[in-house]
Chain A
């Protein structure tokens, strides 16, 4: 018996388009994928649009405007399964740096007429607004992981995503630890695997774009990183970066900041 192909809608919120592009970058798999699923809405790829409901909604980007709060609720209402795709959707992304500052001041810096703009003071992950069924981290997401998630959904099984940190990926590719060997600050030990440990392989530290790994000892890491800083405040900036609004990273950055202020 032939099953009906699941309908898929791909949406963009506040983001750079890089995670959607990861879907278009599946050059070897795209045509097969288009056979297995029914792409009903994907503005970056096609003009053709069919109305919901959809089986799967894939959402890129974070929520940064009043209108986006309304739109994301419509997405949820139209979809059986919602996947948050990429670090903007799962943690707010780089634009969530406004959450640690005054967004109005930023608007004044960038725009001559901030009164023309509609924005929220915060950039927040999708799960702060609706129920999200599955989060896939990465800035950008790893396309092999996107394929794994879609294949798992099509086969009604749990996707096989690595639970460990970037450290294990370094070991697998035989990269010597940049912290131990060169004293380069790296937050790979606290960061979810998935990228393939590309930064340490280039001789630089991980900057956490796949978000925090589970159960990591960020306190001990922060203490070590502070001894390795190449410029004042590097530890805070490493955690408060692409995934800076993710709770684990947010907490440790706040703690380091408050202790260093006390020390002064």
Chain B
């Protein structure tokens, strides 16, 4: 097979390339080249006031700013020993529902589905199947509308603070979302049915899945960090189980477990570990799908995203119905020196933050481990496993199958840079 080169991966968030080095028809070297420039967030977070942190970390990622705000807020609340009110906690879950809906609808329909339908983009798909794309856009829009109602805008919303929220969103604006959310739940159920009609490339990997697990709810904002290999750590213990490393070809850091294993975070990890906590409609959709857990085919993350889309629409409906501003939206902070870790589930996987602050609330140290940094070594290992299957394909199909694999992880390269180019080369 001759050289394949994709200078820049499309339909991913951020910039990177992929290199597959072949020798006698076998992959000898695989690299995800992250040329997304470093932006040094952990550097300039130092000496900023703690209440500025959620606004700054949001700017790490335009697609999942809420995740960056939430992990930061929880970490800093832990540093101060503060617990937010149950009503603020419910609103944080509702806000996260908005981000999951927006991000998953975008990824399912606009980033990954074109690969399964042989299209270059959702816009190309729109020429053939305008109704599908219109439905997709409405599914996504409702997530954005929910974010706007709570946070003022969908990208870099402005209402999350350390201690809760700056203010309670207008009750009518929240309740008015109900008819759209109810439409969305049905459309999400249709999305799962559509996802089951796609023919996915074959790949089965015995992954170590890692996700936040909460006994009483689908793990998103609090709980323990659970691994499918049995490791269970509190959020504060995360760094004892998972280690980040800097590798030469990448502006992103790469993570592995303490036993030097690669691991997967994201929708497959969550669904495989937390399916018992799904809400009834999502659980039923999973049962009726006939899909056997654990799902070990990375391309089938799309099905997991579909099930989660149902779950988060369902949870949003529940939380909107129950929404009732009660007391202050935030607790008053008493500044003191301290250190705290926070981890929440971004749509693309576990997002860990740790901060040290001084007695004036100034950040002394920041550490951020994004989901894509944790998935990068796993994506490279998957590409190794995939190479024998694609090596005899026509060049264009081989390239597309490898690119599709990377895209199925929903990599967020801007986040991980602290990611991609497909280049297959015969040495």
* Interface residues, chain A, with chain B CB atoms under 8 Å away: 12-22, 24-25, 27-28, 30-31, 34, 39, 43-49, 64-65, 67-68, 93-95, 97-98, 101, 103, 105-107, 109-113, 116-119, 123, 139-140, 195-196, 198-199, 201-204, 207, 209, 231-234, 237, 241-242
Task: Give Cα distance in the complex from A34 to B137, angstroms.
Answer: 14
Pairwise interchain contact A201-B11, C-beta atoms closer than 8 A:
no
Task: Give Cα distance in the complex from A13 to B8, angstroms.
Answer: 13
Q: Is B124 an interface residue (CB 8 A)?
A: yes
Task: Give Cα distance in the complex from A118 to B134, angstroms.
Answer: 42
Pairwise interchain contact A46-B121, C-beta atoms closer than 8 A:
yes
* 7 interchain residue pairs of minimum CB distance: A18-B62, A106-B43, A46-B121, A198-B152, A27-B141, A48-B120, A106-B40
Specify which chain B residues have a CB less than 8 angstroms from the CB of A65 in the assembled complex: 37
Pairwise interchain contact B59-A17, C-beta atoms closer than 8 A:
no
B136-193 at interface with A (beta carbon < 8 Å): 137-138, 140-141, 144, 152-156, 158-159, 161, 165-167
Task: Give Cα distance in the complex from A63 to B362, angstroms.
Answer: 29
Closest CB of chain B to A244's CB: distance in Å? Answer: 10
B390-409 at interface with A (beta carbon < 8 Å): 403
Which B-chain residue is minimally distant from A60 (CB atoms)? Answer: B62
Pairwise interchain contact B43-A16, C-beta atoms closer than 8 A:
no
Closest CB of chain B to A56's CB: distance in Å? Answer: 17
Task: Give Cα distance in the complex from A25 to B361, angstroms.
Answer: 36
- Segment among B231-239, B246-254, B313-321, B343-351 that sits at the interface with chain A: B246-254
Specify which chain A residues have a CB less than 8 angstroms from the CB of B59 in the assembled complex: 16, 18, 93-94, 139, 242
Taking a contact as CB atoms closer than 8 A, the residue among A12, A43, A101, A110 that contacts B42 in the complex is A110
Count of CB-CB pairs between chains A and B under 8 Å: 197
- Contact A34 B44, CB 8 Å, known A17-B62, A95-B39: no
Closest CB of chain A to B143's CB: distance in Å? Answer: 10
10 more contacts with CB within 8 A, not counting A25-B154, A44-B11, A139-B156, are A16-B414, A18-B61, A25-B155, A45-B122, A46-B114, A48-B124, A103-B40, A110-B42, A110-B43, A202-B158
Pairwise interchain contact B37-A17, C-beta atoms closer than 8 A:
no
Of the listed residues A12, A46, A201, the one surrounded by the most CB atoms of chain B closer than 10 A to its CB is A46
Pairwise interchain contact A112-B246, C-beta atoms closer than 8 A:
yes
Closest CB of chain B to A88's CB: distance in Å? Answer: 9
Q: Is B49 an interface residue (CB 8 A)?
A: yes
Interface size class of B (residues with CB under 8 A): 35 or more
Task: Give Cα distance in the complex from A112 to B251, angstroms.
Answer: 11
Specify which chain A residues have a CB less than 8 angstroms from the CB of B224 in the assembled complex: none
Pairwise interchain contact B141-A111, C-beta atoms closer than 8 A:
no
Pairwise interchain contact B152-A34, C-beta atoms closer than 8 A:
no
Pairwise interchain contact B138-A237, C-beta atoms closer than 8 A:
no
Pairwise interchain contact A47-B11, C-beta atoms closer than 8 A:
yes
Of the listed residues B37, B61, B248, the one surrounded by the most CB atoms of chain A closer than 10 A to its CB is B37
Q: Could you show 6 A-B contacts with beta carbons less than 8 Å apart?
A: A113-B248, A116-B246, A119-B37, A203-B167, A204-B161, A207-B52
Pairwise interchain contact B246-A109, C-beta atoms closer than 8 A:
no
Specify which chain B residues have a CB less than 8 angstroms from the CB of A18 in the assembled complex: 59, 61-63, 65, 155-156
Q: Is B336 an interface residue (CB 8 A)?
A: no
Task: Give Cα distance in the complex from A232 to B158, angstroms.
Answer: 23
- Contact A34 B123, CB 8 Å, known A64-B37, A65-B37, A116-B246: yes
Pairwise interchain contact A113-B246, C-beta atoms closer than 8 A:
yes
Taking a contact as CB atoms closer than 8 A, the residue among B9, B39, B52 that contacts A64 in the complex is B39
Pairwise interchain contact B8-A43, C-beta atoms closer than 8 A:
yes
Pairwise interchain contact B38-A107, C-beta atoms closer than 8 A:
yes
Which A-chain residue is minimally distant from B412 (CB atoms)? Answer: A17
Q: Is B110 an interface residue (CB 8 A)?
A: yes
Pairwise interchain contact A234-B246, C-beta atoms closer than 8 A:
no
Specify which chain A residues have a CB less than 8 angstroms from the CB of B56 in the assembled complex: 94, 241
Q: Is B133 an interface residue (CB 8 A)?
A: yes
Taking a contact as CB atoms closer than 8 A, the residue among B39, B52, B137, B414 that contacts A237 in the complex is B52
Closest CB of chain A to B71's CB: distance in Å? Answer: 16
Pairwise interchain contact A234-B49, C-beta atoms closer than 8 A:
yes
Pairwise interchain contact B43-A30, C-beta atoms closer than 8 A:
no
Specify which chain A residues have a CB less than 8 angstroms from the CB of B144 in the assembled complex: 25, 27
Which A-chain residue is minimally distant from B144 (CB atoms)? Answer: A25
Pairwise interchain contact A44-B38, C-beta atoms closer than 8 A:
no
Specify which chain B residues have a CB less than 8 angstroms from the CB of A231 in the assembled complex: 49, 360-362
Task: Give Cα distance in the complex from A72 to B98, angstroms.
Answer: 35
Specify which chain A residues have a CB less than 8 angstroms from the CB of B77 in the assembled complex: none
Specify which chain A residues have a CB less than 8 angstroms from the CB of B251 in the assembled complex: 116-117
- Contact A199 B11, CB 8 Å, known A45-B122, A105-B43, A111-B246: no
Closest CB of chain A to B112's CB: distance in Å? Answer: 12
Pairwise interchain contact A101-B43, C-beta atoms closer than 8 A:
yes
Taking a contact as CB atoms closer than 8 A, the residue among B8, B155, B161 that contacts A22 in the complex is B155
B238-276 at interface with A (beta carbon < 8 Å): 245-248, 250-251, 253
Pairwise interchain contact B123-A46, C-beta atoms closer than 8 A:
yes
Which A-chain residue is minimally distant from B246 (CB atoms)? Answer: A112
Pairwise interchain contact B61-A44, C-beta atoms closer than 8 A:
no
Taking a contact as CB atoms closer than 8 A, the residue among B124, B140, B360, B403 that contacts A232 in the complex is B360
Specify which chain A residues have a CB less than 8 angstroms from the CB of B123 in the assembled complex: 30-31, 34, 39, 45-46
